[in-house]
Amino acid sequence: MKSKWTTIGILSAGLLLVLAVGLSQAQGPEPPEGGVQPQGEAGIAASVPCGIPIQGRLTDASGNPISGSRVVTYTLYDSLDRRLWSSGAQMLNIESNGLFNAVIPYCDPPTSVVINGQHLRLGIQVAGDSEMGPHQIIYAVPYAWSLRPGAVISDTSNFAILSVQNYGASTGVYGHSSSGSGVYGHSSSGNGVRGYSQSGVAIQADGTGVIQSAAVSRLFVPGGEAVLGGTDTTDVNLTYWARGTVEVDPSSNNITRTVVIPIPMPAVLYGQAVRIADIRVYYQTSNAASYIAETDLYREELDGGYYSLIEDKMSRSSTTFTYYHIYCTSDNCRLSADEGFISVRLQLYFANGAHNITLGGVRVTLEHD
C-alpha cells in the first residue's frame, strides 16, 4: 500500500540546533549587563528535550486517512537530496483521521552537526512502502534567524555549547556594545573566550584598543641593575655576578650606604592603567649584624619631584637567601601615562667591613585598574 503524507508543521532547523545542545540553569556568575536567566522550574531542573517536532496527515494512495500504529523512518537530506542522517525505525501513532504528532529523535551528538544552518529536506518512509516524496523543506522560524535579546545558552556539556565558524574572509563572531561588554565569556575551568586563526588575527581589539584583565602581571628586575645612591658612595664596592645578583661589600665598620634599583615598567598595559600592588625583595646578608635597614619605593613626578609610595624601616637580616613582601597601598601606587618612573631604594647597614649583603633583585606585582 502506497502511503502519502502532508506536513502541518516542522520546527526549524536553526532552533533545534539549540535544543539538541540542551538548556539548563546557568552556572557561575550572572551574565553582565542584566542578561536574562532561564525562568521557572523547567529552566532550573532540566534541559529542554532534544528532537524535531513534526505534525502531519498520513493517507493511502487513494487519499484515505490511515489510523493506528506504523513503523516509520525519518531521513534528513541536503539541498541536492544527499542523505545526511537517518533516525532508524520509529513507532508512529496515528489518529483516526490520519493526523499525527511526533518528535524526530534527533539527539545523537555525532549527528548534531547536520543542523548547522544549511538547506535541509525531510523524508519519511513507512515500513513496507518506499520513501514518500517529494522531500519536505525544513524552514527556519523567525527566532531561529536570530537569538532573542537576553537569551542564555547554558549547559554542563563536555563539548562547545556554541560553535561559530566562518570559512569565508570575514568575522566569525562580532560583538559590539555602546558602553558595556561587546563579548563576555565565562568558564569555571576552561577558556571563557578563545580565538584561533590560521593566518589572521585571532583576537582583535579596536576602538580604544583596551584589553581588560583581572589577572596580575609581574616584573622581575635583577639585583645586577643596582647602583650606588645618596651623597656618600665611599668605602663600598659593588660586585656584579653573571647570575644577576649584586654583592655589596663595605671597606669600613659601622657605615650605612644607599643602593638604588631602577624598575623599568609599563604605566599602561594593553591600554589599561596599572597600579603597583606590592614589591618583593630578594637578598641575603653574610652576618645578621649587617642588614637592610630601610626599604623605600619612589615614583617620579612630572615636574621632577617624587611620590613616596613605600617607606619601610623594618630590618631584614636573614643569612640565608630569601625575600620579603611590602604592599603598596598609597593612591599614588596607581601609575599614569605621564608618571611611571619607579625606583627601589635600600639603606644598607654594615656593622663590620668584612660583612657583605647580596641583592638578588626585585619583583613588582601589577594590578590592572
pLDDT digits (tens, 9 = 90+) for 188-201: 777 888 888 877 78
Q: Would you put residue 271 in left (φ > 0), alpha (ψ -120 to 50) or beta?
A: left
pTM passes above 0.95: no
How buried is 245 (Cβ within 10 angstroms: 0-12 exposed, 13-18 middle, 19+ buried)?
buried
Q: Any idea which of 144-148, 217-221, 225-229, 256-260 has the lowest mean pLDDT? A: 144-148
Percent of the chain exceeding pLDDT 90 equals 41
State pLDDT tens for residues 325-369. Answer: 999 999 999 988 888 899 999 999 999 999 999 999 999 999 876
In the numeric block, the cell 536553526 is attached to: 14
pLDDT tier for residue 5 given thresholds of 50, 70 and 90: low
User: How far, in Å, CA of 226 to CA of 344, rounded?
Assistant: 9
State pLDDT tens for residues 31-42. Answer: 444 444 444 333
> How many C-beta atoms lie closer than 10 Å to residue 359's C-beta?
26
- Which domains are assigned to the chain? 3-145 (2.60.40), 217-368 (2.60.120.260)
pLDDT tier for residue 158 given thresholds of 50, 70 and 90: confident
How buried is 349 (Cβ within 10 angstroms: 0-12 exposed, 13-18 middle, 19+ buried)?
buried
pLDDT at 113: 53
Q: Would you put residue 232 in left (φ > 0), alpha (ψ -120 to 50) or beta?
A: beta
Report the number of secondary-structure helices (H) and strands (E) in the chain: 3, 19
**126 or 169: whose pLDDT is higher?**
126
**322 or 137: whose pLDDT is higher?**
322
DSSP letter string over 69-105? EEEEEEEEE-TT--EEEEEEEEEEEE-TTSEEEEEE-
Coil, helix or strand for 142?
helix
